Amino acid sequence: MIKWIAKLFSSKEENTENMKKYLIVGLGNIGAEYVNTRHNIGFKVLDFLARKEGLDFQTVKLGALAEYKFKGKTFLLLKPNTYMNLSGKAVKYWMDKENIPLENILVITDDLNLAFGTIRIKPKGSDGGHNGLKNINLVLNTQNYTRFRFGISDQFKKGQQVDYVLGEWNEEENAKLPERLETSSEIIKSFGTAGLENTMTSFNGK
């Protein structure tokens, strides 16, 4: 009886700790040729937060990982090394390994349908034609996870979408990126401390 009670309390404590842990996934492609491309905004957001907070990414299974502690919460910043089309493999592995609930996952991705720098946070949704989200949906077998879409606009000519997405930021975009990255890092912290609804209210469309 005593062992059963001890096990029950241990399980409750573990669940409480898991609710304080968040998996923040920045989508992108590995390799120097992709570093400053529009498609890699997920990596860029996490790199910005890591530099700002003095964090180091460690090479781990299926990606690079940095741990950020803020206001009693633990944020695991993950940059998958599987390339965009297999992002779900890394998300599922670290979600299971760290026992992180689905509602504590935030995926950061680029979005052609939003003007440059526009922010859209949603609790669920379709992949919108994005191969990274498409694979995550497939592997997790659900669309019910929070995604943070960062607008990269659609200023390309017909047939040049791939070149545009995998192209580098132009001069005007580069000048505005620091402020947008600062806001993006605040969104990550808000997601874990203020909750999804408050974060959407505070940042969507800004």
pLDDT tens-place string over residues 57-99: 999 999 999 999 999 999 999 999 998 999 999 999 999 999 9
Tell me the fold of 20-203.
Rossmann fold (3.40.50)
Give the residue numbers marked as catalytic.
39
Task: Judge whether residue 150 has pLDDT over 80.
Answer: yes
Q: 145: annotated binding-site residue?
A: no
Number of C-alpha atoms within 13 angstroms, CB side, residue 48? 20
Using pLDDT thresholds of 50, 70 and 90, give the confidence band for residue 161: confident
pTM: 0.90
Q: 68: annotated binding-site residue?
A: no
Q: Tokens for 111?
A: 């979005």
Q: 93: annotated binding-site residue?
A: no
Q: 164: annotated binding-site residue?
A: no
